[in-house]
Structure 1
Amino acid sequence: MKVVVAPDSFKGSLSAAQVCAAVEAGVLRAVPGARVAAVPMADGGEGTLDCFLGARGGDAVEVAATDPVGRPVKARYALSGDGRSAVVELAAASGLPLVEDVPPDPMNAGTTGTGELIADAVRRGAREVLVCIGGSASTDGGAGLLRALGVRFLDAAGVELPPGGAALARLASIDDSGLPREVRETRFRVACDVTNPLLGPDGAAAVFGPQKGASPGQVAELDAALAVFADAVAARGGPRVHDLPGAGAAGGTCGGLVGLLGAEPSGGALLVAEAVGLPAALDGADLVVTGEGRVDGQSAGGKVVSAVAALARDRGVPCVALAGGVSGPLEELHALGLTAAFSLADGPRTLEELKAGAAPLLTAVAEQAVRLFRR
C-alpha cells in the first residue's frame, strides 16, 4: 500500500515536515509494510521555502537586499539543487513586518528588495521562479521589483521615477530594454490566493492600502496612480491588468508581474504542489493524507487541503484530512475530492492542549483513518 502524506503546517504547533513524520508513524502502525511518500506542503505563504527545499533539495540563499523603505536588509530565497528553480517570498524583503519599527509610508514604500532576490536567483541560473506575494508593505504595482530587474519607469521628461506607488501618477512610459536576456527567458509564476483586481473599490489600494497605513485620501491617490500604471502597461502592448482577477495582490505586484514579465498567476497551494513534486508523488498512490490546523468551509478557498484533495480526485485516489479542528459545512471540500476529515481531539481539550500534544494525537488519528483504507 502506498500512502502519500501532504499536509500544511499546524501553525503554532508543528511544521509541515513534523506533521508528515507524525502521520507516517500512524500509517506504519496501521500498515507496517506501507510505502509512505512524505511531501510537506504550504499555500504559498509562510513555510513555502522550507517545503521547497525539503522536496527539491538545494540551498537557502541569503542576499543583501533593500527593505520597503530603502534600508538594507538580509533576506533568503530558496534555490533548487540543480540551480534551475527558485522560490522567492516577497515578505522576506518587502514585507510589512520589516517596517513595523518606523511610521507607515504607504506612498513611498516599494518592492525593490524582492526584485533583488529574483535578480540574484536568475544570475545563479534559475529559469523558473515562483514568487509568493503575501504580506507586502507597499502599493507600487511591483514597480520596485521590476526596476531591480532592469525595467525603467519614466516621466514625461524621460526622468526615472523614484520608488513608491505615489510616483506612478507621473508615469509617462515604460522602458524594458534593460531587461537582461536571462530574465526574459525565465518563467515566472505567482502564488496568488486573492482575486482582487488592480483598481477600484475592490482593488489593491482600496482593500489593502489601509492595512499599510494609507488614509482615505492616500488610497484614492494610490488607486489613481495604479490606473496610470495599468494604462502604461497596456499602451506598450501588455495585457489589460486593470480588472484582472488577482492583479491587486500584494499592492498590485501580481499585476506588474503579469503585465511586464508574462507571469502566470495561480492559487498558491497548487503552485507549491507542482514545485515540490506532489503530482509525481501521487503516481500509484492508494491513499492521500493531508491536513492543516483547522478544516472548515473556508478551506475550499485555495488552502492546502483543497489543492491536495483536487489532485487526488483527478487520479481517483481517496483523500482524508487531519486537523486540530473540523467544522462544517464541508460540501465544497467533498466536491473538490476530499473523502473525509478527522479531528485530532480525542475528547474535551483546550486549544493549548491540542497544540502541545499534536504529534502523538496525529499519529493516533492517522492510524485509525488509514485502517479504513488498508489493503
Structure 2
Amino acid sequence: MSQLSGHVVIAPDKFRGSLSAAEVAAHVAAGLRAHAGREVVTVALPVADGGDGTVEAVVAAGFTRVETEVTGPAGDPVRAAYAWREAGAGERGPTAVVELAEASGLRRLPSEGEDVRFAPLTATTHGTGELIAHAVRRGARRIVLGLGGSASTDGGTGMMRALGVRFLDADGRELPPGGAALRDLEKIDISGLVAVDGVEFVIASDVDNPLLGPQGAAAVYGPQKGASPQEVDLLGRALARFAAVAAHTHGLVGAIEHDGVVRPMGVAAQPGAGAAGGTGFADLAFLRAEFRPGIDYLLDLLGFQERLDGARLVITGEGALDEQTLRGKAPAGVAAAAAKAGIPVVAVCGRCDLGEEELNAAGITAAYALTGIEPDPALCVSGAGPLLERLAREIADEHL
C-alpha cells in the first residue's frame, strides 16, 4: 500500500464499563496499522464531555495526574485524582481539571457485590471541594469542573463546606451532610471561604437542567441516585430552601415561593444549575463559574483543532450512539469540530441506535458497531478491544 497523504485522528470517548477512551483509541490505532500498514500515521486524542472519565482522558492527552485522599460521597475516605497542566503560552497560570465523579461519583459509593448502597438523602460532594482546595493551594489559576456521574443531590453544599462555607440551622448549628438537611437551612456563612480571588472556574458539562422544577436536579436525576418519589419531593423542597436562603442572605436571586409553588429565578434557573445534583448552582452562585458545553470546551483545552491540520480522517465514538449522543455528547462535538475543517468523520461504538440520516446530520459519515460483528452484548463488553481492532480494519478498507 502506498504512503497515505495524511494522518488519522482517533478521538473517542470511553466505552462505559468496558474500555477507557485511551484504550479505545489504542485498539483502533492497532487495527488500522495491522491492516493498512505501518505507514498509517495515527494521532490519538482520547476525549470526554465533562462526565466520568474526564480526568483519565486529559491525562492521556498530556496532563499530569495528581492524587490525594478525600471524602467519598458516603463519608468514607477515597483516593481521587485531578489533572494538572503548567501554564502554557498566553496562560495566566496552571490549569487543573477536577472531575466530580472522581471524588463524589456513584462509583465511589460502597457496594455489596453488584448492589450499590445508594444514599440519596445524605450523600455529599465534600470530596470534590477537597480536590478543588488542593488544586488552589497548588497554585491553579484556572479550574475546569467536570460535572457528571454524581452520587449526591446536595446542591454542591458539601463541596462548599470543604472550601470553608458553613450551612447553619435556626440555632446556628452546622447542618449534617446531604441534600435532605437543607430543608432546615437558615443561614449561609461564607466568611471562611478559601481565597479563590483570581482563580477562573469553568463548568464543563453537557447538562442544561435548572436547579428546581420538573426538569430540576431532584426530579430528573434523583431517581438515578436511588431516591424514591417521596425522597425526590423532599430533595426538591430542600434545594428550593437552599436557593431561597442564598437569595436572601447573599443577594443571589434563587427562588420565590407563592401559594406553595416554588419558582426558580436567576442563578437557580440558569441552564446547568441542576448539573450533578445541583452542584452547578453552587459553582455558579459562589464560585462565579462560567458554564461551557463540556465537549466543546475540552476539545479546545486539548488542542483538537491543531491535531486536525493535515488529517484525512477522524475516528470518534462511545459505548452507545443514541439520542443522547445528539445532545452534545463527545462524538457529536468531535464531528462538529472536524466538519469546520472539512475532514470526514466515522464512529465506532458498542451499539448504534441512530439511523443513517441522524448520523449524517450530526456530521458522522458512518458508524461501526461491535454488535454488528458480535451479536452477544456480554461478549461485546468483555472482548471490546479485539472487536474494535476488527472494526478498524473495516474502516481502513472503506476509508483509507
Band of TM-score, shorter chain: 0.7 to 0.9
Pick aligned residue for 2:15 from 6, 10, 26: 10
C-alpha distance in 2, partners of 1:223/1:137? 16
1:249-264 equivalent positions in 2, closer than 5 A: 249-264=275-290
1:248 lines up with 2:274 in the alignment:
yes
Structure 1 equivalent of residue 337 of structure 2: 311
45, 51, 61: which one pairs with 1:39?
A: 45
Answering whether residue 134 of structure 2 is matched by residue 108 of structure 1, we say no
CA distance in 1, matches of 2:163, 2:383: 46
Q: 1:213 to 1:290 in 2, by over 3 A?
A: closer
Deviation for aligned residue 1:289: 1.0
Q: Which runs of 5+ in 1 are unaligned?
A: none
SS in 2 for 1:184: coil
Give the % identical residues: 50
Spell out the pairing of 1:58-207 with structure 2 (5 A cutoff).
58-61=64-67, 63-80=68-85, 84-96=94-106, 97-100=108-111, 105-155=119-169, 160-181=174-195, 183-207=196-220
Matched with 2:261 is none
Equivalent-residue separation in structure 1 for 2:183 and 2:14 (angstroms): 41
Which string of whole-angstrom CA distances, capped at 9 and with x for unpartnered residues, describes residues 41-76 of structure 1?
233333322211111231231x22223343333322
Deviations 1:56-103 (A, max 9, x none): 231231x22223343333322232366822222323322334244697
Equivalent residue for 2:239? 226
Which residue pairs with 1:23 in the alignment? 28
Shift, 1:278, TM fit = 2.1
- The alpha-carbon deviation at position 6 of structure 1 amounts to 0.5
Query: Does the aligned pair in 1 maintain the 2:217–2:276 contact within 8 Å?
Result: yes
How far apart, in 2, do the equivalents of 1:184 and 1:291 lie? 38
CA shift, 1:123, in A, is 0.8
1:292 aligns with 318
Secondary structure of the structure 1 residue equivalent to 2:61? helix
Alignment partner of 1:242: what SS?
helix
Aligned residue among 280, 295, 307 for 1:281 = 307
Q: How does 1:309-348 map to 2 (within 5 A)?
A: 309-344=335-370, 347=373
Report deviation, 1:312: 0.6
CA distance in structure 2 between the aligned counterparts of 1:107 and 1:351, rounded to whole angstroms: 34
Q: Distance in 2 between matches of 1:90 and 1:334?
A: 33
Check the 8 A contact 1:191/1:271 in 2, yes or no.
Answer: yes
Whichever residue aligns with residue 51 of structure 1, its letter is A
Q: Return closer, same or farther for 1:12/1:152 CA change in 2, 3 Å cut-off.
A: closer
Structure-2 change in CA distance of 1:293 and 1:280 (3 Å) = same
TM-score, normalised with respect to structure 2 = 0.81
Q: How far 1:146 moved relative to its partner?
A: 1.1
Q: Is the 8 A contact 1:297 1:330 kept in 2?
A: no
Q: Measure the CA separation in 2 of the matches of 1:145 and 1:21.
A: 35
Provide the secondary structure at the position in 2 that maps to 1:255.
helix
- Unaligned segments of structure 2, at least 5 residues: 1-5, 88-92, 254-265
- What CA distance in whole angstroms lies between the structure 1 residues aligned with 2:70 and 2:326? 36
Q: Distance in 2 between matches of 1:74 and 1:186?
A: 25
Distance 1:172 1:367 in 2: 62
Matched, 1:51 2:61: no
> Partners of 2:306 and 2:245 in 1: how far apart?
41
1:208 matched residue in structure 2: 221
Given that residues 246 and 252 in structure 2 are in contact (C-alpha distance below 8 angstroms), is that contact kept between their aligned partners in structure 1? yes
AA partner of residue 101 (structure 2): A
CA contact (8 A) 1:296 1:329 kept: no
Contact 1:296 1:330 in 2 (8 A): no
